[in-house]
């Protein structure tokens, strides 16, 4: 999971500050690295490094980012690498000069890397599959064999990209001779939206991972890119769309609505906020159906993502809603922190209980999901130490039992607390008196109720059914071997960043 943005301004307004602002809005999608590439008079200007947006870009860097079109990226590492060499966007000078950033994971990146070397005669300088995607696109664009290209040439190249590439991806690119491009995988696994803003000089256009980035910069939402669809925005402000996949089908990642996206975003014309409200309703209905004689005194969210679901759940149960934990907003999202020890250390730094809200009460804690169980177990213990008589735990998502391979760090079944365990056994592991999971059908209903176009989602981390249909047991085994916390710790101790390109999604 990463955040992408691209902007074309038709006036004299430089885009550096606006891309910076958009990346700040999308910071929740990646906290490992950030980068911006702009273009002026055919020349690229770049700044990227490890760290948060506010730390990567200083005034001196912003002054050097010239141009009225550009792209930006915030990175979340799915394999725990913290090398600045993996920061995006990436750049190739042939053909035409292209920069690209992407959100997702290419499941056949290892094969593609070999093809790039042996057949396309292209050199890869990192282990990032984002660089693979860029070079695949560059090679296909070169096949147009034209000195000056147009939007049709780009669409032709993207058609060939879809034929070669497997996995989930939403990409934004910058072509020096043309403008900003963006495209989405044939299943729509990763989100991408397009917006516009009217100015005295004409219409500015923007592409981003989430609509909230458009809102923050005064752009209005035009549309979500459909699965397999591409957009080209020329430097002069023309915009073109085209479907580039042979058999596109909507199957967006449902975990975007559970956890990753901001609640004020619209994704595929579905309100994330309304989806989470309905998750709370469904979860409350399950409690009333299966535990009608419950003795819950108070409902508390685990800040921040579960607040919407917890509030609706409390309302439906007729129980008080209380903020029992105060969050330190300067600690990153623990789920996307690489390494188990870092995740453990950060939980107590991140959350502090208000003892008065816990003392002598039977507390229902609500979280968006339970992945490794590390955070959940520590929070349950904190609630007990704060004086709770009983601690119940509810998850707005079903049990996470399977690896997720399209750009989210759920690589190893052995590290997923629900894998191979019953609900009661998971409750025992995290120390809860009772555990309630959302049913998968209820989660799908909660999200799909907001859309007429989307009624199918990728739910692979819950169901083990992968939208692309090409995930083999051997592929999952390789991820388990190379991407689990022990393997990461071994590589870090040995001073190695990654092993295998398909492990190191830059997204």
Rounded to the nearest 5°, which phi and psi values hold at 418?
-85, -10
Indicate the pairing of strand 266-267 with strand 298-301. Answer: unpaired
Eight-class DSSP state of 260 = I
Closest CA to 351 of 302, 388, 298: 302
Q: Please work out, in degrees rounded to the nearest 5, the angle formed at the alpha carbon of residue 213 by the alpha carbons of 212 and 214.
A: 90
Question: CA nearest 29: which of 236, 287, 404, 335?
Answer: 335
Question: What is the pairing mode between strands 390-395 and 434-437?
Answer: parallel
Question: Can you read off the two tokens belonging to residue 290?
Answer: 């299966």
In degrees and rounded to multiples of 5, residue 333 shows phi and psi of -70, 120
Residue pair 185/228 in contact by the 8 Å Cβ criterion: yes
Tell me the pairing of strands 325-327 and 390-395. unpaired
**Residue 441 in marked binding region:** no
Burial 402-428 (b: 16+ CB within 10 A, else e): bbbbbbbbbbbbebbbbeebeeeebbe
Please give the backbone phi and psi of residue 101, each rounded to the nearest 5 degrees, phi first: -130, 155
| Helix H or strand E encompassing 390 | strand 390-395
Catalytic-labelled residue, pool 2, 39, 244, 253 = 2
305 is in an annotated binding site: yes
Query: What Rg value do the Cα atoms of the chain yield, rounded?
Result: 23
Show the DSSP H helices in 233-370 as ranges: 255, 272-290, 307-317, 340-350, 355-358
The residue written with tokens 């396309």 in the block is: 120
Cis omega (within 30 of 0) for bond into 268 = no
Q: How many CB atoms lie within 10 A of CB 275?
A: 26
Question: Does residue 95 have a cis bond before it (omega within 30 degrees)?
Answer: yes
Q: How far apart are CA 452 and CA 268, in angstroms?
A: 10
Q: How far is CA 96 from CA 9, 69, 100, 141, 272, in A?
A: 21, 16, 13, 9, 39
For residue 244, indicate whether it is catalytic: no
Structure tokens at 474: 């051997």
Q: Which residue has the tokens 């879809």?
A: 162
Is 367 marked as binding a ligand? yes
DSSP string, 34-65: EEEEEEETTEEEEEEEES-HHHH--HHHHHT-
Angle at 333 between CA 330 and CA 338, to 5 degrees: 115
Q: How many residues does the chain have?
A: 507
Which of 465, 485, 298 has the alpha carbon at shortest distance from 398? 465
Q: Which residues are catalytic?
A: 2
Annotated binding site for Mg(2+): 305, 367-368
Annotated binding site: 305, 367-368
């Amino acid at each position: 999971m990463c955040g992408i943005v691209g902007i074309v301004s038709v006036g004299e307004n430089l885009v550096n500050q606006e891309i910076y602002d958009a990346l700040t809005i999308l910071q929740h999608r990646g906290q490992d690295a950030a980068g911006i590439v702009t273009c002026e008079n055919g020349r690229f200007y770049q700044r990227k490094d490890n760290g948060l947006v506010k730390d990567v870009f200083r005034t001196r860097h912003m002054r050097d980012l010239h141009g009225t079109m550009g792209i930006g990226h915030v990175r979340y590492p799915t394999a725990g690498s913290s090398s600045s060499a993996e920061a995006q966007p990436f750049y190739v000078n042939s053909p035409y000069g292209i920069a690209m950033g992407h959100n997702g994971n290419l499941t056949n990146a290892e094969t593609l890397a070999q093809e790039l070397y042996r057949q396309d005669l292209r050199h890869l300088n990192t282990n990032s599959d984002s660089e693979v995607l860029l070079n695949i696109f560059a090679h296909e664009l070169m096949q147009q064999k034209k000195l000056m290209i147009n939007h049709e040439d780009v669409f032709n190249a993207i058609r060939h990209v879809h034929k070669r590439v497997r996995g989930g991806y939403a990409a934004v690119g910058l072509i020096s001779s043309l403008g900003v491009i963006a495209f989405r995988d044939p299943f729509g696994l990763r989100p991408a939206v397009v917006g516009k803003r009217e100015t005295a000089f004409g219409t500015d256009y923007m592409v981003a991972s989430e609509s909230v980035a458009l809102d923050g910069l005064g752009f209005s939402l035009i549309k979500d890119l459909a699965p397999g669809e591409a957009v080209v925005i020329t430097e002069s402000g023309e915009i073109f769309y085209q479907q580039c996949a042979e058999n596109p089908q909507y199957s967006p990642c449902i975990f975007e609505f559970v956890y990753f996206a901001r609640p004020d975003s619209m994704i595929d014309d579905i309100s994330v906020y309304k989806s989470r409200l309905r998750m709370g309703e469904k979860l409350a209905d399950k409690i009333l159906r299966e535990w009608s004689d419950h003795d819950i005194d108070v409902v508390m969210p685990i800040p921040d993502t579960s607040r919407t679901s917890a509030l609706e759940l409390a309302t439906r149960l007729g129980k008080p809603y209380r903020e029992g934990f105060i969050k330190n907003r300067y600690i990153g999202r623990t789920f996307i922190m690489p390494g188990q020890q870092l995740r453990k250390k950060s939980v107590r730094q991140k959350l502090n209980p208000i003892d008065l809200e816990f003392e002598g009460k039977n507390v229902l804690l609500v979280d968006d999901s339970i992945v490794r169980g590390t955070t959940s177990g520590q929070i349950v213990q904190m609630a007990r130490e704060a004086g709770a008589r009983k601690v119940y735990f509810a998850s707005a998502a079903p049990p996470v039992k399977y690896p997720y391979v399209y750009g989210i760090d759920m690589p190893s079944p052995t590290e997923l607390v629900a894998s191979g365990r019953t609900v009661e056994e998971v409750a025992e592991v995290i120390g809860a008196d009772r555990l309630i999971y959302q049913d998968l059908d209820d989660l799908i209903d909660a999200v799909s109720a907001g859309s007429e176009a989307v009624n199918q989602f990728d739910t692979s981390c819950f169901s083990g059914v992968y939208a692309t249909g090409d995930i083999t047991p051997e592929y999952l085994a390789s991820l388990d071997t190379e991407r689990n916390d022990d393997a990461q710790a071994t590589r870090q101790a040995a001073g190695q960043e990654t092993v295998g390109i398909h492990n190191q999604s830059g997204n």
